[in-house]
Structure 1
Amino acid sequence: MAGNEESNASPFSEQTASSENSHSKKSQNYEEEMFYKNCRAAYLAVFKSSLENIKSKEQLCLVLQQAGRNPSQKTVDKYWTPQTFTLNFDDFCSILKQEEPTKSTELLKAFANADTNNDDCLLHSELSRILTTRGEKMTLDEVNAILELAEVNSDGKFDYYKFCELYMTVNEQCLKTALEKLEADSKLKCQQFGSQLESSSEMTRSPVSKPLPKATRKTESGSMFKKGVRCSSVPGYKTCASTTIHMGASYNKNSRLIEANTTKEWHFVYSKGCFFLQDNGEIISHKYKLSLPQTSTVCITIKPIKLDQMEEKCSPWLAVDSALYIFKDNETEDYLQLVSFTELHNNEVFGWKGELGAGGYWLIPFTTGCRFKKVKKEMRGEAKLIHRDGSRKLVLTEEFRAVLSEIFEMIDLDGNGFISLEEYNFFEMRTSGEKCDKNTWAMCKEVFSPDVSPTSMACPFSIHIYAEKCKPQIKPVCLETGGEQLKNAICVSVVNKGDAKPINHNENIIIHTYKSDTRITAVIENKSENKALIHLNSEQSKNCINNRGLNTFAVEVVPKSMMVCQHIMPLNDKEEWIYSCIYSVLT
C-alpha cells in the first residue's frame, strides 16, 4: 500500500512542481516585459525614436527622471564619464537595472535616523549638513532646490514626511505620463523596439565580401540555416529573413586543439591578465606585444584561471568565454593585419597553432560578454581582517589573507612571485586611475592596502605561448578596450568563416553568421548608400544568452559598413541550445 501511495503521489507532485515552475517563469517574463516597456516609455518621452542616442548629461538626467528616478549629480557622473560621448537605449536599460527606484520606506528611514527630536522635521542647517557630507553627497545647488519647495518647508524646518510623499508622487507621475504617451501612439508602441546604436566612427568598414552562395548550405554536425522568410506584407517592414541553428551540448566538447605542452623541447613563455567590466558596460583587458626572433611554428592558448586561495569559494568567471586575436605589427597600431584567432579548444582552453614569421605581433584578448555581467553582492556585515593567534599575536584572518593573495596573483602578470612597478601600475590605473612613482612604490612594497578590489567585476585569464624554433617574448603593454582593431577583426573573421544570407532582394544588406561549438556571432553588412535599420527578434531561441541582454532590439548600420549585432552562447552548456532569430528591415 505504501508503495502504491508513493507512486500515485509522485505524478501529482511532479505536476505541481511543473505548474509552479511554469507560473514562476510566466511571472518572471511578465516582469521583464513590463520593465522594458517602462524603459521604452521613458525613452520615447524624451526622444522621437529609441534608435536615437543620449548625447549629454542633461538628456541622461531627463530620461532617468521620466523613468521615475531622481538621480543626483554624482549618479549622472557615474554613467557619464569624461570618456562618454553617447549612450544608447541598451545603455539606458542597463542603468535602470542598476539604479532601482527609491522606496518611500528607505527615504523615511534615512531621514528618521537624523531626526533627534522625533517631530518628523529637520532644521535647514542640519538637512544641508547631512545631504552634503553623508552618503551620495549632494551639491549645494541640489540642496537649495529642495529647500525652495514651499510644500515641504516652513519656518526654517524641512518636513521629510511630506517630502517623501511628494517625491514618490512626482516619480510615479513621470513614469505614468510616459506610459500613457506610449499607449496613445500606436506607431511608437508597435515599431520602436530598442537599440544598440553605434556612432559611425565606431563602425567597421566592409572588406571585400566573399560571394553569396546560390543556395543556403547546411552546416556541420546537425546545424542548419533556414531559408529567408519575406515579410513585405507586415506594416513597418520592407523584408525579413530568419536564421535557426540547432546546437548540441557543448560541455566538454573539444575541437581538435593540439596543445604543445606535451612537447618539452619547445620554448615556452606565459603571462596573465584580466577582463574588467566597466560601469558603462564596456570590457577592458590587458593587451600584449609578442616578439619572435625567427620564423617558427607556435601554439598560443588562452583560458580563464582560478585565483581563489579558498577551496570552498567558487569562481564564477571560470565560465566566462575567452579568445585571443593575433595581429601582425605594422609599426603603427592603426594598420594592424589580422593573422588569426583562437578558434579550437579543449574544454575552457582556446588556442591556435600555426607558423608565424619573425617580428612583432599584437595579442588582443576578447570575451563576448554573454557570461560576464555585473552582479549585485549582498552585504553580510563586517568582515574581520585580523585576529590574535595562540601566542596572542595579531595576524591576518584566513579570509583576508586569501583575498590579498588573490589580488597579488592577479597583479603578478608574469607569475614570478614578485610584483614589479610596471605590474603594480596596471593595478593602480584600474583602481585609483593614477600611476605610482618610484618613491611611492618604495612605500607600497612595505604596505599593500588597495581601496578597491579589482576582483569584483574581473575575469582573470592566462596566455601560454609555445614556439618550436626560438624563445618568444610576451609583454603586457596597456589596459584598455579592444577598440576598432578588435571590432574589425571580429567582423572580418565572421565574414570569412560564417554563412551569408541576404535580407533584401538586391542583396545589399547581408547577415553573416559564424558558428563554433561554444558561441554564435552575427554580423550585419550594409553595402548600400543609405543607412539600414534592422530589427532582431530572438524570442524563439531556447537555452540561449546573448551579450545584449535583450531578445528584441534594433540596430542602425551606416552605409558601406558592417557591425556585430550580437554574440550568443548556451545558458546551460550541458544541454542542447537553439538559436532562432528573425531579421527585419524597418521602414
Structure 2
Amino acid sequence: MSRRPSRASITDGDFILDCKAAYSEVMDDVRKKITSKSLLLQALQESGRNPSERVLKKYWNSETESLSFDDFVDICRKVVITSEEEMMKAFKKIDINGDGFLTLDELRRIMTSNGEKMTRQEVQEIIDEVDENGDGKLDFKERKFYYEQFCNMNKNTADQLRQQNRKRLERKERDRKSKKTESFSDSKRGDVASMGSQISMKSNSSQRTSRKTMGSSASIKSEISLEDGGTSTSKMMGSCSSIRSDSTLKASEREKDPSSTPVPAQRKTLSRSVLAEDDMPRPSPRTHKKGQPVKHIPASKLGQLTDQPKNKGDWTKVSNKGCFFVDDEDGLMTHIYRLTLKERSKVWITIQPTSPQSMIIGDVTPIDTMLLITKKKPDAEGRSVVAFTEKRDGKGKYGVMCELKAGTYNLLPFTTGCNLKPRRSDSSKETPLVRKKDGKTTITKAFRKALVEIFELSDLDSNGTLSRDEFTWFTMRTSGDKVSDDEWEVVTETVELQDDEVTEKGFLKLNEMEADDVDDDISDLWVTLHSMGYNKDLFIDEACPFKLDVFAENCDDADVSLTCTGIETINNDKIIETVMEQNEAVKIKSMVYMYTYANDTRSTVVLENKSTNRVKISMDCTSSKNCQINRDKEEYIITLDPDDKQIAHHLMPLDETLDWTPRCVETVTK
C-alpha cells in the first residue's frame, strides 16, 4: 500500500483519534501491528465500519503480512460507514419477491447463506426489535418508520461506540502516565513478544462490554451488488446494519436501565490529551510480525453452550464414560471410542469431566476434556479429522455440532495436560490397605471405598456391572494385559455374575482374594491404585474421569452405537492436524514454521521443520498472564528433526475467574 509523503494536518485530529481508539481496542497499542484479516475486521468494526468480504480482501490479500496503524488510518479514509442509500438498496435486494416486506423466512435465508449462521429465533429477535405493528415483517412501504429509525439507530450506535472507545483510550493513557515506570517495562516486553506466537481468535465471548450495553445487534449477511458512483460494483458479504434496541428506549426506561443512558458528547480537549504526535500518519514500511497477544475473558463467564439443539430430548442419545490417565511411560492416556451411524445424521456430541469425592484436582478449574471426531481412513490429502470440540460452557462441558454421513467414526478424547499433570510429590506415609485378624487378611474401609470408585470408573456404560470388555480395559490399565478366555472363565467361576457381567460385590471379592494372597507384600495392590490415578492418601490426582454423550437427529436407537475400543496414548498427530488446518503458517526462520490455534479456553502452538537439518527452538512463555502451560517450565527448548512436526505447548487460564493472556516468544537457536 502506498504511503502519503506528508503528515496529516492537526485539523484531522478527531478522525485520527477515532482511528486510534478503535485500533487500541483490538491491538492495545498503536505500535503493534495487525497480523491477520480477522484482526483488521475487528478494528474496522470498532471504528463503526462494516466492511464486506470483498473490501477486506482488497486490503488483506495473500501477500499481506501485517498492517501498521498508519495503514489502518488509510483504510478508514477509504472504507466509509454504510450510508442510508446503500441500506435502502440492500433492503430491496433482500426483498426477493419485491412485495415491500421482509418476512422471517426471507431474512433468515439471507442471514444463513453466508458468514456466521443464525438461528430462526435469532432472526425473529431482529424483526421483533423494529417491527412496530407486530405483523412479523419489516415494511419497506413504512419508509418513515423503518428507514429513518433504522438509519438513526445505526448512526447512534456507531457514534456511541466511537465515544466509548475514546473514553477507554483516554483512561488507558491516564493509567500509563500514572504508572510510567511499569508501563515502560511492559512496553519493552511487548516489543519482544511481538515476535511471539500469533493468536487470532474469533468467538462470541470476545465481544466488548460496550457492545453489550448498547443492546442486541445483527449483521445482515447477503450477496448484494451496490453501485459506487456508477463506475464499480462490489459484492458484499453483507450490508451490515447494527440494530440497537436501546436507542428507542423511552426516558423512563432509561432511568430504569442505566446501561442505556446516552453517552455524553466527547470533550473538545480529548484529541489534545490523548492523540500523540506519533499517531499521525507517516511513511512506514510493512514488516512481518509473528505474534500478537490476545486478552481473553474469564472462562468462568462463558455461560451455556449456544450450539446445542433445543429439542435434543427428541434425538437419539447414547452415552459412555471414560477416563484420562497420567502414565509414567506413555504420558497422557485415554479411553477411545467407536461411533457407528447407520444413516446420515446431524449429531451433537458433548464431553465433560466428572469428579469423584476423592478427586483433589479440577474442583475449582475443571480439567479440560475435549474431543476429536475422525474418519477411520484419511482422505487423499491425508486428513482424517472431521470435527473437534471448540466451545465450552462455564462448567467445563465441551460440545460440537456436525453432520456425519452413515459410517463408522473414531471419537478421541484429549486433554492438554495443563491441569492434569504427573504429581510432583506424594505422601511419605501410605494409607493402610489391609489388616490381619485371626490370621485372615481383610481390606480396610479406605481401600474398599477406593475400589468402589474404581468399579464405577470402569463401568463405562453405567449399567451397574462390568462386561468382559469393561473388565478387560480395567486389567489392561492396571496390568497391561488383556483378559484371556481362561482368565475370564476363572472370574465367572469365582464370583456370582449378573447377565454374564461382574457386579460390584463380585469385583470387591476378586480384590479381597488378591489382598488375601499377597501376605505382607502389598505392592501389587498399590500398582492397581497408582495405575488408576490414586496417590498414597487414596485421593485421585493423576486421572480425570469424564462423560461422553452423543445425540443423533432423526435416528432410531438401533441406528446409533457408541462403544469403547481401548485405552491409548492421546493422539497428538490428530491435534496437530486440527491446528494446522485452522491457521496459516507463520515463518519464524527459513523452512521453520509455526501454527497457532486459540479459542476461549485454549491456545495451542505447533512447530514444523521443513528443512533437511535438525533445528532447536527456544520457547519463552513467561510474559503470558494468568496462564498455565502443559510443560514443566515456561521456558524450554524444542528439537525438531527434518520434516518433523510437534506440539510446542498448550496454554490455558490458571484462574478461570480472571482474564488471561497467552503470549510466547520463539527463537531458533540452531
* Equivalent AA in structure 2 for residue 285 of structure 1: T
| Partner Cα separation in structure 1 for residue 460 and residue 578 of structure 2 | 29
| Partner Cα separation in structure 2 for residue 577 and residue 324 of structure 1 | 23
- Alignment gaps of 5+ in structure 2: 1-60, 70-167, 169-189, 197-287, 496-501, 515-524, 535-541
Contact kept, 8 Å, 2:607 with 2:647, in 1: the verdict is: yes
Q: Does 1:536 align with 2:619?
A: yes
* 1:475 corresponds to: 563
Residues 459 and 271 of structure 1, relative CA distance in 2, 3 Å threshold: same
| Partner Cα separation in structure 1 for residue 398 and residue 627 of structure 2 | 21
| Partner Cα separation in structure 2 for residue 216 and residue 529 of structure 1 | 33
* 2:398 corresponds to: 350
* Equivalent AA in structure 1 for residue 65 of structure 2: K
Secondary structure of the corresponding residue to residue 368 of structure 2: coil
Q: Does 1:458 align with 2:507?
A: no
Deviation at 1:528, TM superposition (A): 3.2
* 1:306 corresponds to: 355
Residues 212 and 421 of structure 1, relative CA distance in 2, 3 Å threshold: farther
* 2:212 corresponds to: none
* Equivalent AA in structure 2 for residue 421 of structure 1: R
| Partner Cα separation in structure 1 for residue 443 and residue 488 of structure 2 | 28
Residues 323 and 520 of structure 1, relative CA distance in 2, 3 Å threshold: same
Q: 1:526 aligns with which of 578, 597, 609?
A: 609
Q: Does 1:569 align with 2:652?
A: yes
Deviation at 1:523, TM superposition (A): 1.1
Secondary structure of the corresponding residue to residue 534 of structure 1: strand
Residues 540 and 287 of structure 1, relative CA distance in 2, 3 Å threshold: same
Deviation at 1:534, TM superposition (A): 1.3
Contact kept, 8 Å, 2:346 with 2:402, in 1: the verdict is: yes
Deviation at 1:526, TM superposition (A): 2.7
Deviation at 1:535, TM superposition (A): 1.0
* 2:579 corresponds to: 494
* 1:31 corresponds to: none
Q: Structure 1, residues 16-63: CA drift from partner, whole Å, max 9, x if none?
A: xxxxxxxxxxxxxxxxxxxxxxxxxxxxxxxxxxxxxxxxxxxxxxxx
Secondary structure of the corresponding residue to residue 577 of structure 1: coil
* 1:373 corresponds to: 421
Q: Structure 1, residues 285-330: CA drift from partner, whole Å, max 9, x if none?
A: 111111001001100111111233x7xx745477211111001123
* Equivalent AA in structure 1 for residue 461 of structure 2: D
* 2:480 corresponds to: 433
| Partner Cα separation in structure 1 for residue 312 and residue 335 of structure 2 | 28
Q: Does 1:271 align with 2:354?
A: no
Higher Cα radius of gyration: 2
* Equivalent AA in structure 2 for residue 501 of structure 1: V
Q: How does 1:124-523 map to 2 (within 5 A)?
A: 213-215=64-66, 242-254=291-303, 256-260=305-309, 262-280=311-329, 282-308=331-357, 314=360, 316=362, 319-330=366-377, 337-347=384-394, 348-375=396-423, 376-379=425-428, 382-383=431-432, 399-436=446-483, 437-442=487-492, 443=494, 445=502, 446=506, 447-449=509-511, 451=525, 452-453=528-529, 454-456=532-534, 457-470=542-555, 471=557, 472-482=560-570, 486-498=571-583, 500-504=585-589, 508-523=591-606
| Partner Cα separation in structure 1 for residue 314 and residue 390 of structure 2 | 25
Deviation at 1:499, TM superposition (A): 5.9
Contact kept, 8 Å, 1:240 with 1:585, in 2: the verdict is: no
Residues 458 and 582 of structure 1, relative CA distance in 2, 3 Å threshold: same
Contact kept, 8 Å, 1:251 with 1:574, in 2: the verdict is: yes
Deviation at 1:253, TM superposition (A): 1.5
Residues 281 and 550 of structure 1, relative CA distance in 2, 3 Å threshold: farther
Q: Taking every aligned residue pair, what percent have the same amino acid on both sides?
A: 29
* 1:583 corresponds to: 666
Residues 400 and 229 of structure 1, relative CA distance in 2, 3 Å threshold: closer
* Equivalent AA in structure 1 for residue 458 of structure 2: I
Contact kept, 8 Å, 1:513 with 1:521, in 2: the verdict is: yes
| Partner Cα separation in structure 2 for residue 217 and residue 353 of structure 1 | 38
Secondary structure of the corresponding residue to residue 300 of structure 2: coil
Contact kept, 8 Å, 1:212 with 1:501, in 2: the verdict is: no
* Equivalent AA in structure 1 for residue 582 of structure 2: K
Deviation at 1:543, TM superposition (A): 1.9
Q: Structure 1, residues 404-456: CA drift from partner, whole Å, max 9, x if none?
A: 22111111011111111110111111112223322222225542317212132
Residues 283 and 339 of structure 1, relative CA distance in 2, 3 Å threshold: same
* TM-score, scaled to structure 1: 0.54
Deviation at 1:338, TM superposition (A): 1.1
Deviation at 1:541, TM superposition (A): 2.0
| Partner Cα separation in structure 2 for residue 427 and residue 464 of structure 1 | 21
Contact kept, 8 Å, 2:432 with 2:444, in 1: the verdict is: no
Secondary structure of the corresponding residue to residue 440 of structure 1: helix
| Partner Cα separation in structure 2 for residue 249 and residue 293 of structure 1 | 41
| Partner Cα separation in structure 2 for residue 261 and residue 464 of structure 1 | 15
Q: Structure 1, residues 453-498: CA drift from partner, whole Å, max 9, x if none?
A: 213222111110000121310111111113xxx3232222212323
Contact kept, 8 Å, 2:459 with 2:466, in 1: the verdict is: yes
Contact kept, 8 Å, 1:294 with 1:359, in 2: the verdict is: yes
* Equivalent pairs, count: 354
Secondary structure of the corresponding residue to residue 577 of structure 2: helix
* 1:551 corresponds to: 634
Deviation at 1:226, TM superposition (A): 7.6
* Equivalent AA in structure 2 for residue 477 of structure 1: T
* 2:177 corresponds to: none
Residues 255 and 326 of structure 1, relative CA distance in 2, 3 Å threshold: same
| Partner Cα separation in structure 2 for residue 491 and residue 382 of structure 1 | 41
Contact kept, 8 Å, 2:305 with 2:399, in 1: the verdict is: no
Secondary structure of the corresponding residue to residue 576 of structure 2: helix
Contact kept, 8 Å, 1:523 with 1:562, in 2: the verdict is: yes
| Partner Cα separation in structure 1 for residue 642 and residue 563 of structure 2 | 38
Deviation at 1:379, TM superposition (A): 4.7
Contact kept, 8 Å, 1:241 with 1:583, in 2: the verdict is: no
Deviation at 1:362, TM superposition (A): 0.5
Q: Structure 1, residues 485-535: CA drift from partner, whole Å, max 9, x if none?
A: x3232222212323643223x5x3222211111110011133334333211
* Equivalent AA in structure 2 for residue 327 of structure 1: T
Deviation at 1:354, TM superposition (A): 1.3
| Partner Cα separation in structure 2 for residue 259 and residue 230 of structure 1 | 38
* Equivalent AA in structure 2 for residue 253 of structure 1: L
